Amino acid sequence: MQIQFLYIKMINRMDIYRLSGYLSGLACLLPICLIFAEYQLGWLYLGYLSYGIMQAGNELMWNMSGPIFAKNEDSSLYSSINVLAVGLRGCVIPALGSLFCSLTNSPFVMVLGGTLCFIAMLRQAFYSKKTEFSLQNAD
């Protein structure tokens, strides 16, 4: 519960893209830690600790992104798109992960997932700078 209060303070101080980038960076740590957990059990705990911290922020971001993007308008359209995206992700990504795991091995799938999270982190950092730039020029 205390982590969510920290995220609420962070969401008031930075834009949604930058905070989402930080969450993607935390998600990137889990596969790396799981691979290293084969050699040292402490990595397993560190990986799931980072995953839990990321999940708390992710939950808040999914719930608050509709009102943040809608600003003073009705946020139900944004929230509906969030629900649709979560449903599609839940249907497609586990099946793709299972397919890739059966064709290769589990460390490859974990590295692929971590790489995708890292790319998402970089992409969100780019959008954060682009958003700040456009806001500065609007004033």
Whole-model pTM: value is: 0.75
pLDDT tens sequence across 67-124: 888 888 888 888 888 889 889 989 999 999 999 999 999 889 999 999 999 999 999 8
**One-letter identity of residue 111:** V
What number is the average pLDDT over the span 38-45? 95
Cβ(56)–Cβ(3) under 8 Å?
Answer: yes
Q: What is the DSSP letter of 40?
A: -
Cβ(75)–Cβ(64) under 8 Å?
Answer: no
Cβ(7)–Cβ(56) under 8 Å?
Answer: yes
- Where does residue 15 fall: left (phi above 0), alpha (psi -120 to 50 degrees), or beta otherwise? beta
**135 pLDDT more than 70:** no
Chain-centre distance for alpha carbon 115: 13
